[in-house]
Amino acid sequence: FCRKKCQMCTNLIMLVAALLMAFSKTAKSFEMILVGRFLYGVGSGFSITIHPQYVGEISPKKLRGFTNSTVAVFLTLGKLAGQVIGLREILGSEGLWPWLLASSGLSAIVQLVILPFLPDSPSYLLIQKSNEEAFRKAIRKLWGEGDHQAEIDDMMKEKAAVASTKSLRVLEIIKERSLRWQLYILMTVMITLQLCGINAV
């Protein structure tokens, strides 16, 4: 799937999770909460990797760093929104807690409504689909009319580089000596991020 379709499928997973949580009290089933939380986790895992890829690919080069930082911003805003609507005066009461758990489904609905109107990412259309006409149409729709030749040239170079390289499986990446230090650094950063206490803060 392209990034856009992946996000739409992820939002469907989140909606199913929201519905399970919303009706768990009515059904008197704690299992629905467990399944809903599991599906939320799966959806969040997909979203946190797909969002920066899609946003980075549809952004012009000068805005790419800014748009990729939106992942952290929206993650923080989501936590803040959850804490605010979790107050007893809003949805934190005994009767409304299932709707509090299901409230994350609202962002999934918004994305499901908006995403069909956005084009696929230009690099996906060029590199994976080899559809140059759709690629140029997407660039015009996303970035407007103008001279985007530098970005087009970069994507053409990326397409040539991708065509000449072999995709590696997870075990092949682990065994590849030339990638070992990058892998160690990445694992160290991810582990220390989990142990640094930021989640508790």
- pLDDT score, position 28: 92
Residue 59: per-residue pLDDT: 84
Q: Note the pLDDT tens digit of each residue in 113-160.
A: 999 998 888 888 877 787 888 888 888 888 877 777 777 777 777 777
Please state, rounded to an integer, the average pLDDT across all residues of the chain.
85
Indicate left, alpha or beta for 28 from its phi (over 0: left) and psi (-120 to 50: alpha): left
C-alpha closest to that of 57 among 135, 151, 121: 121
Local confidence band at 42 (pLDDT 50, 70, 90 cut-offs): very high
Is pLDDT at 15 greater than 90 in this prediction? yes
Range among 71-85, 105-119, 176-190 with highest mean pLDDT value: 105-119
Average pLDDT over residues 91-98: 89
Domain ranges (residues) in the chain: 3-118, 166-200
Per-residue pLDDT at 73: 83
Two tokens, residue 73: 């911003």
Instruction: List the one residue out of 81, 10, 9, 4 whose CA is nearest residue 45.
Output: 10
Centroid of chain to Cα 194: 19
Find the mean pLDDT for residues 47-67: 84
Whose CA is closest to 6, among 39, 67, 48? 48
CA separation for the pair 98, 186 (Å, rounded): 38
**Does residue 167 register a pLDDT over 80?**
no
CA atoms of 101 and 19, how far apart (whole Å): 10
At residue 199 the predicted structure's pLDDT band, cuts being 50, 70 and 90, is low
Q: Given this model, what pLDDT does residue 37 score?
A: 93
pLDDT at 201: 61
What mean pLDDT is predicted for residues 166-182? 83
